[in-house]
Amino acid sequence: MQLRKFHQFPNDVIIVDGMWGVGKSAITPIIATLKGIEKKRIDPIFEYVTTLNWLGLLDDSGAKALIATYSDYFTYHNRIGREVNLRLRDDSGLGNSPGKLRYVRRLFSNDGDVAQLKIYKENPGTLIVSDFAIFGFNLLAESLDSRLRFIEIVRHPLYLINYVQNYLREFDRPREFTLAFDLHGQKVPWMAQSWASEYLSLTLLEKSMLMIARAQSKVIDYSESPNILTVSFEQFVTETSHHVELISDFLGRPVHYSPNRLMKRHKLPRDTVSAGRKSNSRSWVTDDDDSEEEIYLKLVRDSRSNVKSSVWSEFITAIGQYETIYPSSLSQIGRKIRMTPS
Protein backbone atom coordinates (compact mmCIF):
# COMPACT_ATOMS: atom_id res chain seq x y z
CA MET A 1 0.00 0.00 0.00
CA GLN A 2 1.32 3.42 -0.98
CA LEU A 3 0.58 7.03 -0.10
CA ARG A 4 -1.23 8.90 -2.83
CA LYS A 5 -2.92 12.28 -3.38
CA PHE A 6 -6.31 11.59 -4.95
CA HIS A 7 -8.18 14.06 -7.18
CA GLN A 8 -5.58 16.71 -7.88
CA PHE A 9 -6.53 20.14 -9.16
CA PRO A 10 -5.84 20.47 -12.91
CA ASN A 11 -4.14 23.89 -12.80
CA ASP A 12 -0.54 24.66 -13.74
CA VAL A 13 2.16 24.50 -11.09
CA ILE A 14 5.03 26.76 -12.14
CA ILE A 15 8.32 26.18 -10.34
CA VAL A 16 11.05 28.77 -10.82
CA ASP A 17 14.25 27.24 -9.54
CA GLY A 18 17.95 27.95 -9.32
CA MET A 19 20.87 27.88 -6.95
CA TRP A 20 21.50 30.70 -4.49
CA GLY A 21 22.04 34.12 -6.04
CA VAL A 22 21.08 33.43 -9.64
CA GLY A 23 18.60 36.32 -9.83
CA LYS A 24 15.22 34.71 -9.21
CA SER A 25 14.12 37.86 -7.34
CA ALA A 26 14.55 39.95 -10.49
CA ILE A 27 12.89 37.50 -12.86
CA THR A 28 9.90 36.07 -10.97
CA PRO A 29 8.00 39.39 -10.58
CA ILE A 30 8.08 39.73 -14.38
CA ILE A 31 6.77 36.17 -14.79
CA ALA A 32 3.88 37.07 -12.45
CA THR A 33 2.67 39.68 -14.96
CA LEU A 34 1.51 36.89 -17.30
CA LYS A 35 -2.18 36.02 -17.43
CA GLY A 36 -3.48 33.97 -14.53
CA ILE A 37 -0.16 33.69 -12.68
CA GLU A 38 -0.60 33.89 -8.93
CA LYS A 39 1.68 35.85 -6.61
CA LYS A 40 4.86 33.94 -6.06
CA ARG A 41 5.37 31.84 -2.99
CA ILE A 42 8.88 31.33 -1.61
CA ASP A 43 8.53 28.06 0.21
CA PRO A 44 11.22 25.43 0.87
CA ILE A 45 8.85 22.45 1.02
CA PHE A 46 9.58 21.34 -2.56
CA GLU A 47 13.32 21.67 -1.92
CA TYR A 48 12.98 19.64 1.29
CA VAL A 49 10.92 16.87 -0.29
CA THR A 50 13.02 16.54 -3.45
CA THR A 51 16.23 16.71 -1.41
CA LEU A 52 15.21 14.00 1.05
CA ASN A 53 14.09 11.79 -1.82
CA TRP A 54 17.29 12.44 -3.82
CA LEU A 55 19.33 11.53 -0.75
CA GLY A 56 17.35 8.32 -0.30
CA LEU A 57 15.81 9.47 2.99
CA LEU A 58 12.20 9.66 1.73
CA ASP A 59 10.62 7.03 -0.50
CA ASP A 60 9.01 7.84 -3.84
CA SER A 61 5.38 7.34 -2.82
CA GLY A 62 5.70 9.58 0.22
CA ALA A 63 7.54 12.26 -1.75
CA LYS A 64 5.04 12.24 -4.62
CA ALA A 65 2.09 12.43 -2.24
CA LEU A 66 3.62 15.42 -0.43
CA ILE A 67 4.40 17.28 -3.65
CA ALA A 68 0.89 16.79 -5.05
CA THR A 69 -0.75 17.64 -1.73
CA TYR A 70 1.26 20.81 -1.15
CA SER A 71 0.68 21.94 -4.74
CA ASP A 72 -3.07 21.76 -4.22
CA TYR A 73 -2.79 23.23 -0.72
CA PHE A 74 -0.97 26.29 -2.07
CA THR A 75 -3.41 26.62 -4.97
CA TYR A 76 -6.51 26.51 -2.77
CA HIS A 77 -5.18 28.85 -0.08
CA ASN A 78 -4.09 31.36 -2.72
CA ARG A 79 -7.57 31.25 -4.19
CA ILE A 80 -9.27 32.20 -0.90
CA GLY A 81 -6.72 34.82 0.15
CA ARG A 82 -5.08 32.91 2.99
CA GLU A 83 -1.41 33.38 3.81
CA VAL A 84 -1.04 36.63 1.87
CA ASN A 85 2.36 38.13 2.69
CA LEU A 86 1.69 41.66 3.91
CA ARG A 87 5.38 42.54 4.25
CA LEU A 88 5.49 44.99 1.38
CA ARG A 89 9.27 44.88 0.92
CA ASP A 90 9.52 41.08 0.77
CA ASP A 91 10.13 39.46 -2.61
CA SER A 92 6.88 37.55 -2.14
CA GLY A 93 5.03 40.48 -0.52
CA LEU A 94 2.18 42.46 -2.04
CA GLY A 95 4.59 45.23 -3.05
CA ASN A 96 6.17 42.87 -5.59
CA SER A 97 2.90 41.23 -6.70
CA PRO A 98 1.16 42.47 -9.88
CA GLY A 99 -2.60 42.83 -9.46
CA LYS A 100 -2.28 43.05 -5.69
CA LEU A 101 -5.87 44.22 -5.10
CA ARG A 102 -7.25 40.85 -6.20
CA TYR A 103 -5.68 39.26 -3.13
CA VAL A 104 -7.34 41.81 -0.88
CA ARG A 105 -10.71 41.11 -2.50
CA ARG A 106 -10.25 37.39 -1.94
CA LEU A 107 -10.23 37.97 1.81
CA PHE A 108 -13.97 38.61 1.49
CA SER A 109 -14.73 35.92 -1.10
CA ASN A 110 -16.36 32.53 -0.66
CA ASP A 111 -14.26 29.50 0.14
CA GLY A 112 -15.14 25.79 -0.15
CA ASP A 113 -16.72 24.47 -3.33
CA VAL A 114 -17.14 27.96 -4.80
CA ALA A 115 -13.39 28.54 -4.65
CA GLN A 116 -12.71 25.03 -5.96
CA LEU A 117 -14.93 25.66 -8.98
CA LYS A 118 -12.99 28.84 -9.79
CA ILE A 119 -9.74 26.87 -9.76
CA TYR A 120 -11.14 24.41 -12.30
CA LYS A 121 -12.54 27.22 -14.42
CA GLU A 122 -9.65 29.72 -14.37
CA ASN A 123 -6.52 27.51 -14.29
CA PRO A 124 -4.50 29.76 -11.97
CA GLY A 125 -0.76 29.37 -12.31
CA THR A 126 0.55 28.49 -8.85
CA LEU A 127 4.02 30.10 -8.79
CA ILE A 128 6.59 28.49 -6.49
CA VAL A 129 10.17 29.73 -6.09
CA SER A 130 12.72 27.15 -4.91
CA ASP A 131 16.43 26.44 -4.56
CA PHE A 132 18.07 23.34 -6.06
CA ALA A 133 14.72 21.61 -6.78
CA ILE A 134 16.06 20.62 -10.20
CA PHE A 135 17.92 17.79 -8.44
CA GLY A 136 14.47 16.24 -8.01
CA PHE A 137 13.00 17.23 -11.38
CA ASN A 138 12.07 13.68 -12.37
CA LEU A 139 10.19 13.25 -9.11
CA LEU A 140 8.35 16.55 -9.62
CA ALA A 141 7.42 15.56 -13.16
CA GLU A 142 6.07 12.19 -12.01
CA SER A 143 4.13 13.84 -9.16
CA LEU A 144 2.51 16.64 -11.17
CA ASP A 145 2.57 15.23 -14.71
CA SER A 146 1.22 17.72 -17.26
CA ARG A 147 0.58 20.34 -14.57
CA LEU A 148 4.30 21.03 -14.10
CA ARG A 149 5.96 24.00 -15.75
CA PHE A 150 9.62 24.15 -14.69
CA ILE A 151 11.88 27.16 -15.26
CA GLU A 152 15.53 26.97 -14.23
CA ILE A 153 17.48 30.21 -13.78
CA VAL A 154 21.24 30.04 -14.31
CA ARG A 155 23.98 32.65 -13.88
CA HIS A 156 27.65 33.08 -14.73
CA PRO A 157 29.82 31.39 -12.05
CA LEU A 158 32.06 34.45 -11.51
CA TYR A 159 29.06 36.60 -10.64
CA LEU A 160 27.81 34.09 -8.07
CA ILE A 161 30.94 33.98 -5.91
CA ASN A 162 30.16 36.95 -3.68
CA TYR A 163 26.58 35.83 -3.03
CA VAL A 164 27.51 32.23 -2.24
CA GLN A 165 30.37 33.35 0.02
CA ASN A 166 28.00 35.60 1.94
CA TYR A 167 25.48 32.76 2.17
CA LEU A 168 27.98 30.23 3.50
CA ARG A 169 29.47 32.79 5.86
CA GLU A 170 26.10 32.94 7.63
CA PHE A 171 25.30 29.24 7.26
CA ASP A 172 25.59 28.43 10.98
CA ARG A 173 23.07 31.00 12.17
CA PRO A 174 19.78 29.72 13.70
CA ARG A 175 17.58 31.38 11.07
CA GLU A 176 19.22 29.45 8.24
CA PHE A 177 16.81 26.75 7.04
CA THR A 178 18.73 24.88 4.34
CA LEU A 179 19.02 21.17 5.13
CA ALA A 180 22.49 20.12 6.27
CA PHE A 181 24.48 17.12 7.46
CA ASP A 182 26.42 16.81 10.69
CA LEU A 183 29.96 15.57 10.07
CA HIS A 184 32.01 15.39 13.28
CA GLY A 185 29.94 18.19 14.76
CA GLN A 186 30.38 20.48 11.73
CA LYS A 187 27.62 21.61 9.39
CA VAL A 188 27.73 20.56 5.73
CA PRO A 189 25.13 21.72 3.16
CA TRP A 190 23.16 18.78 1.81
CA MET A 191 24.32 19.30 -1.77
CA ALA A 192 27.93 18.78 -0.63
CA GLN A 193 27.15 15.37 0.87
CA SER A 194 29.33 13.42 -1.58
CA TRP A 195 32.38 15.63 -0.88
CA ALA A 196 31.69 16.55 2.75
CA SER A 197 35.20 15.88 4.08
CA GLU A 198 36.74 17.93 1.29
CA TYR A 199 34.21 20.71 1.94
CA LEU A 200 35.28 21.03 5.56
CA SER A 201 38.96 21.25 4.56
CA LEU A 202 38.46 24.26 2.28
CA THR A 203 38.52 28.00 2.81
CA LEU A 204 35.28 29.95 2.47
CA LEU A 205 36.25 31.11 -1.03
CA GLU A 206 37.17 27.58 -2.11
CA LYS A 207 33.93 26.17 -0.70
CA SER A 208 31.98 28.76 -2.66
CA MET A 209 33.79 28.12 -5.94
CA LEU A 210 33.39 24.34 -5.79
CA MET A 211 29.77 24.64 -4.64
CA ILE A 212 29.05 26.75 -7.73
CA ALA A 213 31.01 24.56 -10.14
CA ARG A 214 29.57 21.25 -8.95
CA ALA A 215 26.00 22.47 -8.64
CA GLN A 216 26.23 23.93 -12.15
CA SER A 217 27.35 20.57 -13.50
CA LYS A 218 24.24 18.91 -12.05
CA VAL A 219 21.98 21.69 -13.31
CA ILE A 220 23.31 21.38 -16.86
CA ASP A 221 22.76 17.61 -16.83
CA TYR A 222 19.14 17.96 -15.70
CA SER A 223 18.25 21.04 -17.71
CA GLU A 224 18.75 19.27 -21.02
CA SER A 225 15.18 18.00 -20.63
CA PRO A 226 12.76 19.50 -23.20
CA ASN A 227 10.28 19.96 -20.35
CA ILE A 228 12.51 22.53 -18.66
CA LEU A 229 12.96 26.11 -19.81
CA THR A 230 16.44 27.30 -18.85
CA VAL A 231 16.80 31.07 -18.59
CA SER A 232 20.23 32.68 -18.47
CA PHE A 233 20.28 35.66 -16.11
CA GLU A 234 22.70 37.55 -18.38
CA GLN A 235 20.46 37.10 -21.41
CA PHE A 236 17.30 37.98 -19.47
CA VAL A 237 18.58 41.25 -17.99
CA THR A 238 19.98 42.53 -21.30
CA GLU A 239 17.25 41.23 -23.64
CA THR A 240 14.28 41.31 -21.28
CA SER A 241 11.40 41.67 -23.73
CA HIS A 242 12.61 38.77 -25.86
CA HIS A 243 12.90 36.47 -22.87
CA VAL A 244 9.51 37.50 -21.51
CA GLU A 245 8.13 36.32 -24.86
CA LEU A 246 9.99 33.00 -24.54
CA ILE A 247 8.62 32.45 -21.03
CA SER A 248 5.13 33.48 -22.17
CA ASP A 249 5.25 30.92 -25.00
CA PHE A 250 6.58 28.19 -22.68
CA LEU A 251 3.78 28.77 -20.15
CA GLY A 252 1.10 29.39 -22.78
CA ARG A 253 0.09 32.63 -21.06
CA PRO A 254 0.16 36.14 -22.59
CA VAL A 255 1.25 39.24 -20.72
CA HIS A 256 -1.69 40.53 -18.66
CA TYR A 257 -0.28 43.20 -16.36
CA SER A 258 2.17 45.76 -17.69
CA PRO A 259 5.68 44.78 -16.56
CA ASN A 260 7.06 48.31 -17.01
CA ARG A 261 6.99 49.35 -13.33
CA LEU A 262 8.64 46.12 -12.20
CA MET A 263 11.19 46.29 -15.02
CA LYS A 264 12.14 49.81 -13.97
CA ARG A 265 12.42 48.72 -10.34
CA HIS A 266 14.82 45.91 -11.25
CA LYS A 267 16.67 48.03 -13.83
CA LEU A 268 15.57 45.93 -16.79
CA PRO A 269 16.80 45.85 -19.44
CA ARG A 270 20.28 47.02 -18.51
CA ASP A 271 23.48 47.79 -20.39
CA THR A 272 25.74 45.81 -18.07
CA VAL A 273 24.89 42.58 -16.31
CA SER A 274 25.98 43.73 -12.86
CA ALA A 275 24.24 47.14 -12.86
CA GLY A 276 21.23 45.80 -10.98
CA ARG A 277 19.38 46.24 -7.72
CA LYS A 278 20.16 44.46 -4.47
CA SER A 279 17.32 42.15 -3.43
CA ASN A 280 18.87 41.32 -0.04
CA SER A 281 22.00 41.79 2.06
CA ARG A 282 23.89 39.01 0.24
CA SER A 283 23.33 40.43 -3.26
CA TRP A 284 26.25 41.84 -5.18
CA VAL A 285 26.00 44.68 -7.70
CA THR A 286 28.58 47.17 -8.87
CA ASP A 287 28.28 50.76 -7.68
CA ASP A 288 31.01 52.23 -9.86
CA ASP A 289 31.37 53.13 -13.53
CA ASP A 290 33.66 50.29 -14.51
CA SER A 291 33.04 48.63 -17.83
CA GLU A 292 31.80 45.05 -17.97
CA GLU A 293 35.28 43.89 -18.94
CA GLU A 294 36.85 45.71 -15.98
CA ILE A 295 34.28 44.16 -13.61
CA TYR A 296 34.95 40.70 -15.07
CA LEU A 297 38.71 41.13 -14.67
CA LYS A 298 38.33 42.30 -11.08
CA LEU A 299 36.20 39.27 -10.23
CA VAL A 300 38.81 36.99 -11.80
CA ARG A 301 41.63 38.60 -9.80
CA ASP A 302 39.67 38.47 -6.54
CA SER A 303 38.58 34.85 -6.95
CA ARG A 304 41.93 33.61 -8.25
CA SER A 305 43.91 34.73 -5.23
CA ASN A 306 44.56 32.39 -2.31
CA VAL A 307 42.87 29.29 -3.74
CA LYS A 308 44.38 25.92 -4.52
CA SER A 309 45.28 25.37 -8.17
CA SER A 310 42.96 22.35 -8.29
CA VAL A 311 40.02 24.46 -7.12
CA TRP A 312 40.81 27.22 -9.61
CA SER A 313 41.14 24.70 -12.45
CA GLU A 314 37.74 23.19 -11.71
CA PHE A 315 36.15 26.61 -11.43
CA ILE A 316 37.69 27.83 -14.72
CA THR A 317 36.30 24.72 -16.42
CA ALA A 318 32.84 25.60 -15.09
CA ILE A 319 33.20 29.15 -16.44
CA GLY A 320 34.16 27.89 -19.89
CA GLN A 321 31.29 25.43 -19.90
CA TYR A 322 28.81 28.12 -18.89
CA GLU A 323 30.03 30.66 -21.44
CA THR A 324 29.73 28.08 -24.21
CA ILE A 325 26.23 26.87 -23.33
CA TYR A 326 24.77 30.26 -22.36
CA PRO A 327 26.52 32.82 -24.61
CA SER A 328 26.34 36.50 -23.67
CA SER A 329 28.55 39.58 -23.59
CA LEU A 330 30.44 37.88 -20.75
CA SER A 331 31.35 35.00 -23.06
CA GLN A 332 33.02 37.44 -25.44
CA ILE A 333 35.00 38.95 -22.56
CA GLY A 334 36.00 35.51 -21.32
CA ARG A 335 37.37 34.56 -24.72
CA LYS A 336 39.58 37.66 -24.69
CA ILE A 337 41.10 36.90 -21.33
CA ARG A 338 43.74 34.21 -20.91
CA MET A 339 43.04 32.61 -17.55
CA THR A 340 45.48 30.01 -16.36
CA PRO A 341 45.93 28.57 -12.84
CA SER A 342 48.50 30.48 -10.81
| Residue 251 three-state SS | helix
DSSP symbol at 306:
T
| Residue 128 three-state SS | strand
Question: Could you tell me whether strands 126-131 and 41-42 are parallel, antiparallel, or unpaired per DSSP bridges?
Answer: parallel
DSSP symbol at 255:
B
Rg of the chain over Cα atoms, rounded to whole angstroms, equals 20
Chain-wide mean pLDDT for the chain?
Answer: 91
Q: Quote the CA–CA distance of 342 and 332 in Å, as a whole number.
A: 22
- The pTM of the full predicted model, rounded to 2 decimals, is 0.92
Q: Quote the CA–CA distance of 306 and 312 in Å, as a whole number.
A: 10
The segment(s) of the chain belonging to CATH 3.40.50 are: 1-155+224-285
Residues 214-229, mean pLDDT to the nearest whole number: 88
- pLDDT one-digit tens code per residue, 250-293: 999 999 999 888 899 889 999 888 776 655 545 555 656 788 99
* Residue 231: its H or E element: strand 228-232
Q: How is domain 1-155+224-285 classified at the CATH fold level?
A: Rossmann fold (3.40.50)
- pLDDT one-digit tens code per residue, 52-109: 999 999 999 999 999 999 999 999 999 998 878 877 778 777 777 788 888 888 888 8
The CB density around residue 101, as the number of other CB atoms within 10 Å, is: 9
Q: Quote the CA–CA distance of 165 and 226 in Å, as a whole number.
A: 32
The pLDDT of residue 84 is 81
